[in-house]
């Protein structure tokens, strides 16, 4: 078991060399993730409090608020695919945004997966207050971990906003290098609005969507890099890795 405080980039790599038959880097990272989030920040809790808030606010019929999560292996595959598509992507630190960030767990996964892609900024935007508050807790835990660590390897500016992804005065996410959208339950109208904003992004921006691709919407501004079928909290989902042209 890793100790959070003593875990560093070098500790992680050490484990690969010394115990390579026992644990992979990803297994070590998942263990670190579980230690960091603790027992109060689980997927089951996020799903429950999301449902409670939707019941209390009479919004159970709003399908786009349905809760589900990406997984660590999913995030790893996405980042590895991006790197294999653009071998120069890691030449400078990048930024990542999660549109509809839920409990913040997926954003924390991105912070830990800096063994693959280095991020200066990892940002989440979430509309439900209860989930947003979970993500603030995750940010506190991540910041405390970094403060206690002697190695800044995992550090990045992790931040969360409470509000709508369509309110760009709250946070303009269009300048991020990777735009991650767990969009399985998002409505067509939402996807069309997201697409309008994607048009403003830089060439080379990666856009990840779930279940529905954006790359074929006209006018075509995205290329399909890869389609993957990967594990999520609700089973397998089709993941579309697209790139702004």
Ligand X SMILES: C[S@@+](CC[C@H](N)C(=O)[O-])C[C@H]1O[C@@H](n2cnc3c(N)ncnc32)[C@H](O)[C@@H]1O
* 23 vs 159, beta carbon nearer ligand X: 159
**Residue 92 token pair:** 């400078």
What binding mask, one character per residue, do residues 66-95 give for ligand X by CB under 6 A, x or -?
A: -xxxx-------------------------
Q: What is the three-class DSSP state of 51?
A: helix
Cβ–Cβ < 8 Å for 49, 130: yes
- Binding of residue 131 to ligand X (CB under 6 A): yes
Helices (H), the chain: 9-18, 25-37, 43-56, 72-85, 105-112, 129-148, 188-198
- Binding of residue 126 to ligand X (CB under 6 A): yes
What is the rounded CA–CA span in Å between residue 215 and residue 212? 9
Question: Binding ligand X by CB under 6 A: which of 100, 116, 130, 173?
Answer: 100
CA angle 241, 164, 226 (to 5 degrees): 5
Question: Binding ligand X by CB under 6 A: which of 49, 98, 221, 244?
Answer: 98
* 64 vs 212, beta carbon nearer ligand X: 64
* 65 vs 122, beta carbon nearer ligand X: 65
* 125 vs 222, beta carbon nearer ligand X: 125
Phi, psi of 150 (to 5 degrees): -85, -10
Q: Which residues of this chain interact with ligand X, rule CB under 6 A?
A: 64-65, 67-70, 98, 100-102, 106, 125-128, 131, 164-166, 182, 185
């Amino acid at each position: 078991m890793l100790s959070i405080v003593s875990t560093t980039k070098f500790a992680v790599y050490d484990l690969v060399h010394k115990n390579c038959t026992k644990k992979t880097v990803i297994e070590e990272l998942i263990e670190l993730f579980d230690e960091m989030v603790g027992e109060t920040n689980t997927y089951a809790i996020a799903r429950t409090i999301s449902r409670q808030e939707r019941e209390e606010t009479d919004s159970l019929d709003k399908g786009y608020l349905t809760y589900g999560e990406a997984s660590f292996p999913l995030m790893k595959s996405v980042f590895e695919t991006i790197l294999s598509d653009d071998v120069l992507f890691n030449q400078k630190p990048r930024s990542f945004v999660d549109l509809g960030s839920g409990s913040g767990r997926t954003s924390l996964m991105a912070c830990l997966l800096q063994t693959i892609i280095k991020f200066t900024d990892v940002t989440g935007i979430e509309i439900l207050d209860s989930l947003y508050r979970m993500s603030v807790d995750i940010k506190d835990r991540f910041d405390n971990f970094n403060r206690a660590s002697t190695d800044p390897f995992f550090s990045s500016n992790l931040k969360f906003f409470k509000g709508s992804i369509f309110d760009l005065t709250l946070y303009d996410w269009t300048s991020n290098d990777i735009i991650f959208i767990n969009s399985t339950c998002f409505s067509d109208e939402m996807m069309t609005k997201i697409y309008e904003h994607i048009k403003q992004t830089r060439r080379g921006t990666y856009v990840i969507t779930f279940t529905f691709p954006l790359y074929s919407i006209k006018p075509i501004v995205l290329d399909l890099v890869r389609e993957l079928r990967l594990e999520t909290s609700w089973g397998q989902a089709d993941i579309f890795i697209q790139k702004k042209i």
